[in-house]
Amino acid sequence: MGVNVSRADYRDRAAGKKTWGMPLAWPPSGWPRRCRTGMTGGASGLTWGAVRSKCGFGILLGRLVGVGSLAAVIAVGVASCAASIAPAPQTPAAHSSGPLDVGNPNGHAYVPPVGRAANTSDPNHVIGVGTPASCTSAAVVRAVAEGGIITFNCGPNPVTITMTATAKVVNTSHQVVLDGRGKVTLSGGGKIRILYMNTCDPKQKYITSDCWEQQWPQLVVQNLAFKDAYSAMRQSSTSNYGGGAIFAEGGQLKVVNSAFLDNRCYEDGPDLGGAAIRAYGMYTGSPVYITHDTFSGNTCSNGAALSGLYANFDVTNSLLTANKAIGWGANPARPGTPGGGSGGAIYTDGDHYNLTIDGTVMRDNNAREGGGAIFFVVNAGGGTLRIEYSTLDHNPSGVFQNAPGIFDSVDRHNTAPVVVDSTIS
């Protein structure tokens, strides 16, 4: 990383003991006012430099777009952009097939081999003996703790396993792979988190002298559905908050051909997020791979589908719909508010990281504060939000954005994402 931030420093910032160093997304004097916008450019699209605030918010909101005032289609690199996703001029990615109807069926972006499904033909553990009753929460918890490649044998029909305890990765495992083969749903029953990996949790064993951003373990989830998970953990300097279905701190994470439906995490907190997935302090040598997945109906304070802090993400050939950031007060939290409400689908923060959206559809996500689809803030060290061969459509932002459904800020400056053959409206 270009800028090093310790785990202790991150915790202090999250608890409000230190400032984040990020620009305010509202006037310092208080609640944001709605803006009128002026814009120039041809009918084929809106040039990024043409969006200018007329509310007098000042330099911090140089390209803030008022809610409800802009329904422009941004077409970058082409004269016009079709409403559907243009196929990427690349080799289609391979992914495991199964009964799960997930991902963007029109997404054909290339996925490198390391971002694809793992080979699970020779498993270390098989959960179940051919009947639904043999596939239990206890069996999942035990297999994940033991590590290695895990598959299921629950009978010929799809099965839902309601978890009664969270399955936790032990950090001495080099790799943990869970493959549902398209027939298994893990449910939190509306009460608990489903999967947990934390290299900085002594109960799961330390394996390095500095657990922050360490390389291993790697958690791989594929051909699985996660639903009705819930993390009730509130944000504090010591809690592992967020991450309703999956919480990951440190190591590597890959999710392939999977669905995340109706998961939740706590309703407020300036940095609390990830009803489906929360990843932070991850190994910087590899992104979090989100490949051919579906996220729908998830709700959390921020980033209802994905919440990343000090983590790179590659989101490829996926579908993110109807996810909601329901917190209030943004980040840093305005006085008198609990904070949160940004990044309806995706919320990312930290130093020197990148977020890539490729071959993906993001539609009907909603943020009470900013970034109905994406909230992307890099505090220092540079970073890029890149959107390729994707469609972002009708992702309303309740208070602020600097492109339709997007808030993009890098090194304290509102910034335009890099957009290639994509529709953003």
Encoded tokens for 149: 């490649």
- Give the confidence band of 233 by pLDDT, cuts at 50, 70, 90: confident
According to the model, what pLDDT value does residue 98 have?
53
* pLDDT above 60 (res 419): yes
2 is a domain residue:
no
136 is a domain residue:
yes
* pLDDT above 80 (res 40): no
Helix, strand and coil in the chain, % to nearest 5: 10, 30, 60
- Is the overall model pTM greater than 0.75, yes or no? yes
* pLDDT above 80 (res 294): yes
271 is a domain residue:
yes
390 is a domain residue:
yes
In Å, what is the CA distance from 223 to each residue of 71, 118, 138, 169, 402?
A: 36, 11, 20, 19, 36
367 is a domain residue:
yes
- Give the confidence band of 164 by pLDDT, cuts at 50, 70, 90: very high
For 169-191, the pLDDT digits (tens) are: 999 999 999 999 999 999 999 99
Average pLDDT, the chain: 82
1 is a domain residue:
no
Other CB atoms closer than 10 Å to residue 48's CB: what's the count?
A: 16
* pLDDT above 80 (res 31): no
Query: Which range marks the domain in which residue 14 is found?
Result: 7-424
For 202-229, the pLDDT digits (tens) are: 999 999 888 999 999 999 999 999 999 9
* pLDDT above 80 (res 2): no
Encoded tokens for 408: 């993009």
| Cα pseudo-dihedral 120, 107, 260, 195, rounded to 10 | 40
According to the model, what pLDDT value does residue 120 have?
97
* pLDDT above 70 (res 53): no
336 is a domain residue:
yes
Please report, as a single letter, which amino acid is at residue 295: F
Q: 82 Cβ partners below 8 Å, 6+ apart?
A: 423
Encoded tokens for 183: 């027939």
According to the model, what pLDDT value does residue 99 have?
60
Strands 52-53 and 37-38, by their bridges, are: antiparallel
- Give the confidence band of 369 by pLDDT, cuts at 50, 70, 90: very high
197 is a domain residue:
yes
For 109-156, the pLDDT digits (tens) are: 999 999 999 999 999 999 999 999 999 999 999 999 999 999 999 999
Q: In what order do the strands lie in the sheet with 406-410?
A: 167-168, 195-198, 246-249, 277-280, 306-309, 346-349, 374-378, 406-410, 413-414
According to the model, what pLDDT value does residue 8 have?
53
For 317-348, the pLDDT digits (tens) are: 999 999 999 999 999 999 999 999 999 999 99
Query: Domains in the chain: how many in total?
Result: 1
According to the model, what pLDDT value does residue 238 have?
86
- Give the confidence band of 28 by pLDDT, cuts at 50, 70, 90: very low
For 54-97, the pLDDT digits (tens) are: 222 222 222 333 333 323 333 333 323 333 333 343 433 344 44
According to the model, what pLDDT value does residue 295 have?
98
